[in-house]
Amino acid sequence: MAHAWVSIGSNIERRKHIARALALLEEHFGELEQSSVYESAAVGFDSEPFFNMVVGFNTDESPHVLQAQLHGIEAACGRQRTASLSARTLDLDLLTYDDRVINEGKLVLPRDDITRYAFVLYPLVELAPNERHPVSGRRYADLWDDFAQDSQPLQRVDWPSRS
């Protein structure tokens, strides 16, 4: 079994699509480790704010199959893939797969979003502060301490607790 971390984002009907994604991920992979949900501004394009979070789970699927499954869940939630940055119903990105380092076409692990975006790094820190980045070897908590946090503010969202 491998452990995967996946980021979830939405800025179109945010609550609906994130709730649906969580249900579909849980259906496919079982119990999920879930960060809090955070609101953040769109980065790199003008759009409505996003809700973002990170989930973790164990899987027997290969990284390529897992990525295809994530794309399938996005499609089930109405995601239209375009070449440019734009608003989206759902964005599911495979961040890590154990400590594997992969660079095979559209599958790049660990995903560089971990060190680029507060809305990815901070929820990951919330779940796994002492886990180490597969390339740099630095703890996620240490990466967060060095992150320019004021440049990408996050607001925690009141999200229903899971029972």
Where do the domains of the chain lie?
2-156
Instruction: Tell me the pTM.
Output: 0.93
Mean pLDDT of the chain: 91
DSSP β-bridge partners for residue 156: 38
What is the pLDDT confidence band of residue 65, given thresholds at 50, 70 and 90? Answer: very high
What CA–CA distance (Å, rounded) separates 146 from 121? Answer: 11
What is the pLDDT confidence band of residue 46, given thresholds at 50, 70 and 90? Answer: confident
SS (H, E, C) 142-163: HHHHHCCHHHCCCEEECCCCCC
Give the architecture-level CATH label for domain 2-156: 2-Layer Sandwich (3.30)
What is the pLDDT confidence band of residue 47, given thresholds at 50, 70 and 90? Answer: confident
Indicate if the pLDDT at residue 86 is higher than 70. no
What is the pLDDT confidence band of residue 75, given thresholds at 50, 70 and 90? Answer: confident
Indicate if the pLDDT at residue 39 is higher than 60. yes
Structure tokens at 53: 């979070």
Three-state DSSP at 52 gives: strand
pLDDT digits (tens, 9 = 90+) for 110-124: 999 999 999 999 999
Indicate if the pLDDT at residue 66 is higher than 50. yes
Mean pLDDT, residues 42-68: 91
110 preceded by cis ω (within 30°)? yes
Indicate if the pLDDT at residue 81 is higher than 70. no
Q: What is the pLDDT of residue 147?
A: 95
